[in-house]
Amino acid sequence: MAGRDLEAQTAVAEPEVHQESLLEKGGYHRPGIIERAPVLAPGHTAGSVTDKISSVVLSGTPRWFYPAFGLAFTLTMVLFASLAKLFWEGTGIWGVNQPIGWGFAIINFVWWIGIGHAGTLISAILLLLRQEWRTSINRFAEAMTIFAVACAGIYPLIHTGRPWLAYWLMPYPNTMGLWPQFRSPLIWDVFAVSTYATVSLLFWFVGMIPDLATLRDRATKRVAKVLYGMAAMGWRNSAKHWHEHEVASLLLAGLATPLVLSVHSVVSFDFAVGIVPGWHATIFPPYFVAGAIYAGFAMVLTCTIPLRRAFGLYDFITERHLDNMGKVMLATGLIVAYGYGIEAFTAWYSANHYETFMMWNRFFGPYRFHYYALLLCNIVAPQALWWKSVRVSPVKLWIVCMFINFGMWLERFVIVVVSLSRDFVPSSWGTYHGTIWDWATFLGTIGLFLSLLFLFVRFMPMISIFEMRTLATEAQLKELPEDDGA
C-alpha cells in the first residue's frame, strides 16, 4: 500500500516529535530507522489487559450510558414510527418522484454499506497481512460492520413500493414458476449483501468466542454467567479449540477478503449498469470500494475516539492506531479524488454531450452547492491528514472524520439524485428534496446503529481480549533483551 511511503514522508517532515518521544522512553536514536508508536502502551501484561477490557463489561453501567443510550433508543423509535407511516401510506411520504425514483433510501443504503467496509477490511485483510496494530480496533470495527449492514439492509427492503413482496427478489422455488431476473444488479445486490452480512456475522461471532468464555469465567452474576456461557459455546481453552479457532478465523478471513472488494463493486453496479449519465461509468467499482473504506475508517474513528475517551482505553487504542487509520483514510481519499477526476475527464474525453452536460450540471446546475460541499468534504478536508499532528490529535482527526462522513453521504446524493434529476429528455427533468420522513428514517437508522453500538460496548468485549493478550505477551518478550541491554 501507498501508506508506507506516505508515512515515511510524514515522518521526515516532523522528525523532532519522534526523537523526543524516543528519548523519553529511554530508547536511542538509530539514524535511518523509524521508530513507531507502540500498538499497546508499554507495561501491560496478559492479566492487566484482561482486567481492563473485561471490566468495561463486568463493572456496572457508567452513568453517561443512560442518557446516551436513551437518545439513541429514542431515535430508533423514530425509525419505527417512520416505517409504520411508510407501510401505512406508501413511498409517497418520501421525496421521490419521476424522474428521481431513488432518493434517501438508496443513498443511505450505499452509505451504510460503505461504512461497514472498514470492519471487514480491518478484520480480514489486515489479519491476512499480519498488521498487528489492527488487533485493538478489529472487534469494534467488526461490530460496526454488522450494525451498519443491519441499517443498510433495511433500506432496499423498505424502498420498494410493495415491501411485503420484496421476498420475490430471493431465488426460491415457488408456485409462480418464476426466478428473479438475474440480469438485474438488484439481484446481485441481494446475493452480495446477504453473503456479506452472513460472513461478517460469523466472523465477528467466531472471533468473540474466546472472549465470551473469558467473560463467562469472570462474571460474578448468575445471569451473566449463563448468558455468556451459552454464547461461549463451550469454549474450554484447549489447544485443539485454539487450533480450530485459528483455522476458522483464517478461513473466514479468506472468505471475507474478496467480499471487501466485491460487495461495494456489486453495489456500484446498481448504478454502473444503468444508462443514466453520471451512473454509467466503468470506474465505479474500484472508486466505490475505495470510497467505502474511506467512509468506513472515518466512521470507525468517529465512534472510537469518543469511546476511547469514555472508557479510558488510551493504552489499547494508541496514537499509532489513530495515525494508521488516518493514513488509510488519506490513501483511500486520494483514490476517491482520483475517481472524481476521472469522471470529469471521461465526460470531457468521451465528447458525449449527455456526459458533458452531466458534469456541467454537477458544477453549475441546481445542486452545485451539494457538489462543492462534496469536494470540500471529501477532497479538501482530508488533505489535513498529511500532517501527523492532525492524525494523532483525537479532536482534529474526529473533525476530519465528520467531514468525510458527511462528504461520503453527499457523494451518494450527487450520484443518485443529481444524475437522475437531469438525464436525457429535458422535458422530464425534475428536482428532489428529502421530506421530513426521509430525514426521520435516516436519523432513525443512525439511532438504531448507535443503540446497537451502545449495547455492544456495554455487554460485549469491544476489544479482542485474547488477541491483546497475545500482543502483551509478545511485547514483553520483545522488551526483555532491550531491558537487558540497558
Partner 1 sequence: MSASEEENGPGDDVKDPVLDDQAPRAASCAGGACGCGGAGAREDAAPALWRNLDELQQSAAFQQAVENEFPRQAVPLGLGVDRRRFMQLMGASLALGGAAACTKQPPEEIVPYVKQPEEIVPGNPLFFATAAPMGGGYALGVLATSHMGRPTKIEGNPEHPASLGSTDVFAQASVLGLYDPDRSKTIVNAGRIRTWEAFVDALTMELATQEGSGGAGLRILSGAVTSPSLAAQMTAILARFPLARWYQWESASDRSAVLGSRAAFGRDVSVRYDLAKAQVVVALDCDLLGKGPGAVRYSRDFARGRRVWESAPEGTAPGTMNRLYAVECTPSPTSTLADHRLALKPAEVGAFAAALAAALGVPGAAAPAGWNHPEAARLLPVLAKDLLAHRGSSVVAAGDESAPELHVLAHAINAHLGNHGTTVLLGEPIAARPTDPLADLEALVAELQAGKVEALLMLDVNPVYDAPPELKVADALLSPAARLRVHWGLYDDETARYCHWHVNAAHYLETWGDARAYDGTVTLQQPLIDPLYGGRSAHEVLAVLENRPGTGAREVVQGLWQPRLGGEPQWRKAVHDGFVGGSAAPAAGAGVNGGAVAAAARTITEALAQQQGYTLAFRPDPSAWDGRYANNAWLQELPRPFSKVVWDNPVLVSPRTARELKIDDGTSDGLQGRRAAVLRIEVDGASIEAPAWVLPAQADGVLTLTLGYGRTRTGKVGKGVGVDVNKLRTRAGFWSRAGAAARATGDRYELASTQGHFLVTDPAGVERPMVRRATLAEYQRQPELMHEAVEAPAHDMTLYPDWPYEGHKWGMAINLSACTGCNACVVACVAENNISVVGKDQVFRGREMHWLRIDQYYAGDYDAPSAVLNQPVPCMHCENAPCEVVCPVEATTHSFEGLNEMTYNRCVGTRYCGNNCPYKVRRFNFYKFADWTTESLKLQRNPNVSVRFRGVMEKCSYCVQRINAARINSEREDRKITDGEVRPACAQACPTEAIVFGDINDAEARVTAWKKQPLSYGMLEDLNTRPRTTYMGRLANPHPELEEKA
Chain contacts with partner 1 (rule: CB under 8 A): 89-92, 95-102, 159-163, 165-166, 168-169, 176, 178-181, 183-187, 190, 270, 273-276, 353, 356-357, 360, 364-366, 420-431
Q: How far apart are CA 71 and CA 73, in angstroms?
A: 5
Nearer to partner 1, 140 or 371 (CB): 371
Nearer to partner 1, 67 or 177 (CB): 177
Nearer to partner 1, 312 or 430 (CB): 430
Nearer to partner 1, 97 or 383 (CB): 97
Cβ 14 to partner 1 shortest distance, Å:
46
Q: How far apart are CA 366 and CA 420, in angstroms?
A: 13
Nearer to partner 1, 357 or 403 (CB): 357
Cβ 201 to partner 1 shortest distance, Å:
24
Cβ 343 to partner 1 shortest distance, Å:
17
Which residue is it, cell 457523494?
411
Of 396, 393, 370, 372, the C-alpha closest to 382 is 396
Cβ 100 to partner 1 shortest distance, Å:
8
Q: How far apart are CA 328 and CA 382, in angstroms?
A: 11
N- to C-terminal Cα separation, the chain: 35
Cβ 281 to partner 1 shortest distance, Å:
15
What is the residue type of 57? Answer: V
Nearer to partner 1, 64 or 88 (CB): 88
- Nine-digit cell string for 435: 421530506
Longest dimension (CA), the chain: 80
- Nine-digit cell string for 372: 462543492
Q: How far apart are CA 466 and CA 54, in angstroms?
A: 11
Which residue is it, cell 441499517?
151
Nearer to partner 1, 392 or 417 (CB): 417
Cβ 203 to partner 1 shortest distance, Å:
28
Cβ 367 to partner 1 shortest distance, Å:
8
The string of DSSP codes covering 353-402 is: HHHHHHHHHHHHSTTHHHHHHHHIIIIIGGGGGGSHHHHT-HHHHHHHHH
